[in-house]
Amino acid sequence: MAKTKVLLEVQAQDAYVGSFAAFEDAAASESRAYAQITRALSPVTGLGVEPDPILLAIPMFTPPAPEAGSSAPPLSGLSTFGWPEINDDIPPVTLVLPVEVDRGNIEALRERSGVVGVWLNSRLQLHSGEETSAWPRTERIKAEAFDRARSRIGVDCRPFRPAVDTEVVRHLLGVSALWRDGFRGQNVTVGILDEGVNGAAYPVVGGFTHLGSDTYPGSAPVTSHGSMCAADVLVAAPAARLYDYPFIGVPDSGGALAMFQAVLGRRRVDGTPHLTTSSYGYASVPSSEESPSSEIHDIDHPLHRKVREVVASGAAVFFSAGNCGSQCPSSRCQPSGIGPGKSIHASNSLAEVITVAAVNSCHERIGYSAEGPGMFEPKKPDLAAYTHFFGNFGPGRPGGTDVAEFDNGTSASAPLAAGAAALLLSAFPRMSVQELRDALTAGLINVTGAAWDPGYGRGILNVAASYWHLLHKY
């Protein structure tokens, strides 16, 4: 019988297996990782469950939604992880184990004592834009930025408008207001969860190596998608430091889950990274009848709960909205996931994260930028940020022009917004996640006149206005 990959969640029974120390120990040794998973699988012997040899046992500090009439345990115990000191190790509530199992045994697995849940371990893809070989050759646009950025809505589709220089984007963001006051993102660390960052071109100072992966922090080529995200963070915050979490070497939910756990573990030690950015997701929406435990339909999926744990620890989490907007979706998108109400889903649509759509330098929504409402939180995206500029890719840029002519997709807009947030945190380092979200929202340029718009969210990012809001507040 064919086996399928799932994430098996079991009750934590061992005081050591599942702790932060155990996770770090397993990440350093394939044999120790296998031993931990094998020990944790003891409740399901006889059901043909086999551990995935390249993934780790992931501790969960929040269980799935409680039964009616009971309450979920608070996440307040993670809030001290934001301080630059080592916090005590804490035991998990459950463990999530990446395994393979015969399809016919899944129901029996769910009914076994000690099993909390069986979840899909879905494939992920990056939210880069369409392959640019078919796009028109770009030109450098040096016109005064706000002469081009009209305060009215529009849609940019193929052939897309020419890309612009990074200086145009910096002018539109208003970074000079903070730079003049001495803030450039210093003392802020941004975690990039992607396919890897080139450490020769960008300031990678740490991260995590996935078990079984040959990509370690800083080792990716400069033409990687993760290197593009690194360049885009540094547009607003050139003095920020970067942690590299290259999980796309294991491109599924279990890989992402392990990297968010690595983020949480790092925050336990010294309060970093201060925020994270992710530009990945799914290109289709399976039916809820066929895949009820899919990340897209089940808000209690371990990956979503782990993301919430990271936010509860005090780190803002940015996600790209996705590239399945209705006007000109990426060719990777399937009809089930295109357009309003279908294109922003899974972790990208969680209320706790900051979901970023994409606009060009004229304030026109890029036609592939995913549209709300979100499938979990209806008012997604939260905001829009710029894409289609020369950051990592383009003439004279570190990534050159061989792979892409310019930084593109909502993959570029999300790290750009994360970099703007890092810039604000360098000026106001004690801001909570909610205070940071409020500051970004207060500075947005509302081009639609609506409190929330399915394409633009609540408006377009402007870090200068957010900075002035904070100066008057504090």
pLDDT of residue 152: 62
Measured CA to CA in angstroms, residue 270 lies from 298, 381, 382 at distances of 32, 31, 29
Question: Does 18 have pLDDT greater than 70?
Answer: no
Q: Which of 40-49, 210-219, 344-353, 453-462 has the lowest mean pLDDT?
A: 210-219
The pair of three-digit structure tokens given for residue 277, joined into one six-digit string: 């950015």
Which distant-in-sequence residues (6+ apart) come within 8 Å of 68 by Cβ? none
Indicate the Cα dihedral angle 210, 215, 219, 222, nearest 10°.
-120
Amino acid at 231: A
**Contact at 8 Å (CB) between 422 and 240?**
yes
Question: Does 74 have pLDDT greater than 60?
Answer: no
Question: Does 320 have pLDDT greater than 60?
Answer: yes
pLDDT of residue 54: 75
Which residue's entry shows tokens 């050139």? Answer: 238
Determine the length of the chain: 474
Domains in the chain, please, with CATH?
3-121 (3.30.70), 126-473 (3.40.50.200)
Q: Which of 125-134, 162-171, 198-207, 304-313 has the lowest mean pLDDT?
A: 125-134
What is the DSSP-derived secondary structure letter of residue 73?
A: P
Which comes out higher in pLDDT, residue 146 or 283? 283
**Which tens digits make up the pLDDT trace of 83-114?**
888 988 888 889 999 999 988 899 999 999 99
Give Rg (Cα) of the chain: 21
pLDDT of residue 68: 42
Phi, psi for 100 (deg, rounded to 5): -115, 140
**Which tens digits make up the pLDDT trace of 271-298?**
999 999 999 998 889 998 888 888 999 9
> Do the bridges between strand 94-102 and strand 189-194 make them parallel or antiparallel, or are there none, so unpaired?
unpaired
pLDDT band of residue 49 (cuts 50, 70, 90) is: very high
Enclosing H/E stretch for 67: none
> Do the bridges between strand 389-390 and strand 164-165 make them parallel or antiparallel, or are there none, so unpaired?
parallel
pLDDT of residue 189: 98
Which residue's entry shows tokens 């790209």? Answer: 320
pLDDT of residue 293: 86
Spatial distance between the Cα atoms of 441 and 456, rounded to a whole number of angstroms: 12
11 beta partners = 94
pLDDT band of residue 71 (cuts 50, 70, 90) is: very low
pLDDT band of residue 69 (cuts 50, 70, 90) is: very low
Which comes out higher in pLDDT, residue 132 or 90? 90
Spatial distance between the Cα atoms of 419 and 413, rounded to a whole number of angstroms: 10
pLDDT of residue 426: 98
Spatial distance between the Cα atoms of 291 and 272, rounded to a whole number of angstroms: 36
Spatial distance between the Cα atoms of 59 and 131, rounded to a whole number of angstroms: 38
Phi, psi for 283 (deg, rounded to 5): -105, 0
pLDDT of residue 66: 63
pLDDT band of residue 70 (cuts 50, 70, 90) is: very low
Question: Does 353 have pLDDT greater than 70?
Answer: yes
pLDDT band of residue 346 (cuts 50, 70, 90) is: very high
Question: Mean per-residue pLDDT for 245-265?
Answer: 88
pLDDT of residue 133: 47
Enclosing H/E stretch for 102: strand 94-102
pLDDT band of residue 467 (cuts 50, 70, 90) is: very high
Question: Mean per-residue pLDDT for 295-311?
Answer: 95
| Burial class for 84, CB neighbours closer than 10 Å (0-12, 13-18, 19+) | exposed
pLDDT band of residue 211 (cuts 50, 70, 90) is: confident
The pair of three-digit structure tokens given for residue 463, joined into one six-digit string: 């870090």
Question: Mean per-residue pLDDT for 22-37?
Answer: 86
Spatial distance between the Cα atoms of 306 and 59, rounded to a whole number of angstroms: 9
The pair of three-digit structure tokens given for residue 183, joined into one six-digit string: 């803030």
Percentage of the chain exceeding pLDDT 70 = 90
Which comes out higher in pLDDT, residue 213 or 407? 407
The pair of three-digit structure tokens given for residue 80, joined into one six-digit string: 């001290």
pLDDT band of residue 78 (cuts 50, 70, 90) is: confident
Enclosing H/E stretch for 376: none
**Which tens digits make up the pLDDT trace of 400-425?**
876 778 999 999 999 999 999 999 99
pLDDT of residue 150: 63
Confidence (pTM): 0.93
**Contact at 8 Å (CB) between 242 and 229?**
no
**Complete DSSP assignment for 150-196:** -SS--EE-SSPPPPEEHHHHHHHHTTHHHHTTT-SSTT-EEEEEES-
**Which tens digits make up the pLDDT trace of 154-183?**
899 999 999 999 999 999 999 999 999 999
Q: Which of 195-204, 319-328, 393-402 has the lowest mean pLDDT?
A: 393-402
Question: Does 347 have pLDDT greater than 60?
Answer: yes
Question: Does 73 have pLDDT greater than 70?
Answer: no
Amino acid at 170: R
